[in-house]
Amino acid sequence: MNAYTYEEIEIGHTETFEVTVTEESLDAFRGITGDVNPLHRDDEFAKARGMKGHVAFGLLTASYLSALAGVYLPGKRSLVQSLEIKFASPVYPGDTLTVSGEVTEKNDAYRVLRLKVAVRNGKGEKVLRGTMQIGFTEEGHG
Amino acid sequence: MTREEVMERINRIFRDNFDDESLVIVDETNAEDIEDWDSLEHINLVMAMEKDFGLKFNLKEVGELKNVGEMADLILRKLSV
């Protein structure tokens, strides 16, 4: 796990990791959220609506941004404040995703980072894009 | 830049930030007047003003502000330095 401090991070700092979306991760997400919509489990239903098969939950794809902030950028001291995202293309079970974030802005007064975030599939297509605002936790409170 | 121009730009920033074209900001406007003006939006407003006016604030400066009029005065002071 990374543990960058605010001062160590510069504009342009980028972190990337890969993750494969599995049927198990869809099952886990379904169990947590209760979203039993057939688009995410029924191939016939999904194909009748123009998909290649059942598709991963958009918010499952977005959930990897939690690891981007909490493990990679800035890592241990991360405190996610806001997230704005768009789902650009469907994600299917078996897809290996590349999750990336680049620091585009720093605010010294509030010690806050703004990141441009993106998730790409194995073909390099952007399946998610957006922005994320992240602060830093500090010891000594409570 | 005149104080009136600063207030106009601040008004634009508030409208953009809160997605509300009907917002009218006056000197006395503070967080109690706008429902969505919470601590997170406060950070967003300060960051938007830094970007728009090409300034940097420190935490002490923005922590002492009581309303938008004081923010406008702070911006004018920093622009004149």
Question: Does any CB of chain B come closer than 8 Å to the CB of residue A84?
Answer: no
How much is the average pLDDT of A32-55? 98
Q: Judge if the upstream peptide bond of residue A38 is cis by omega within 30 degrees of 0.
A: no
CA-nearest of A91, A96, A98 to A53 is A91
Q: Report whether A121 contacts A97 (CB < 8 A).
A: yes
Chain B environment of A114 (Cβ under 8 Å): 47
pLDDT at A87: 97
Question: Is A109's CB within 8 Å of B58's CB?
Answer: yes
Question: Is B47's CB within 8 Å of A81's CB?
Answer: no
Token pair 């598709």 in the structure block, residue: A55
The domain segmentation of chain A, as residue ranges, is: 14-136
Whether the pLDDT of residue A138 is over 90: the answer is no
The domains located in chain B, with CATH, are: 3-80 (1.10.1200.10)
Question: Is B47's CB within 8 Å of A112's CB?
Answer: yes
Question: Is A109's CB within 8 Å of B40's CB?
Answer: no
Give the pLDDT confidence of A73-97 residue by residue, as tens digits. 999 999 999 999 999 999 999 999 9
Question: Is B57's CB within 8 Å of A109's CB?
Answer: yes
Question: Does any CB of chain A come closer than 8 Å to the CB of residue B52?
Answer: no
pLDDT at A140: 78
Residues of chain B with pLDDT under 70: none
pLDDT at B67: 95
Question: Is B40's CB within 8 Å of A108's CB?
Answer: no
Radius of gyration over every alpha carbon of chain B, rounded to an integer in angstroms: 12
Give the pLDDT confidence of A16-39 residue by residue, as tens digits. 999 999 999 999 999 999 999 999
Helix extents (H) in B19-67: 39-53, 59-63
User: The tokens of B28 are what?
Assistant: 């006395």
CATH of A14-136, picked from 3.50.50.60, 3.40.980.10, 3.90.1150.10, 3.10.129.10, is 3.10.129.10
Q: Report whether A103 contacts A73 (CB < 8 A).
A: yes
Question: Does any CB of chain A come closer than 8 Å to the CB of residue B56?
Answer: yes
Residue partners of B4: CB distance under 8 A and separation at least 6: none
Question: Does any CB of chain A come closer than 8 Å to the CB of residue B24?
Answer: no
Q: If contacts are CB pairs under 8 Å, which of residues 36-75 in chain A contact chain B?
A: none
Comparing alpha-carbon positions, the chain B residue that sits nearest to A111 is B59
The minimal CB distance from B59 to the residues A105, A110, A114 is found for: A110
Q: Alpha-carbon dihedral of residues A54, A56, A57, A58, nearest 10 degrees? A: -120
pLDDT at B5: 96
Which backbone phi and psi does B15 adopt, to 5 degrees? -60, -45
B27-45 CB burial, b ≥16 within 10 A, e <16:
eebebeebeebeeebebbb
As a whole number of angstroms, the distance between CA B24 and CA A130 comes to 29
Share of chain A above pLDDT 70, in %: 99
Q: Rounded to a whole number, what is the distance in Å from the CA of B59 to chain A's nearest CA?
A: 5
Torsion over CA: A116, A122, A123, A127 (sign): negative
Band of the pLDDT at A139, cuts 50, 70, 90? confident
**How much is the ipTM here?**
0.78
pLDDT at A142: 64
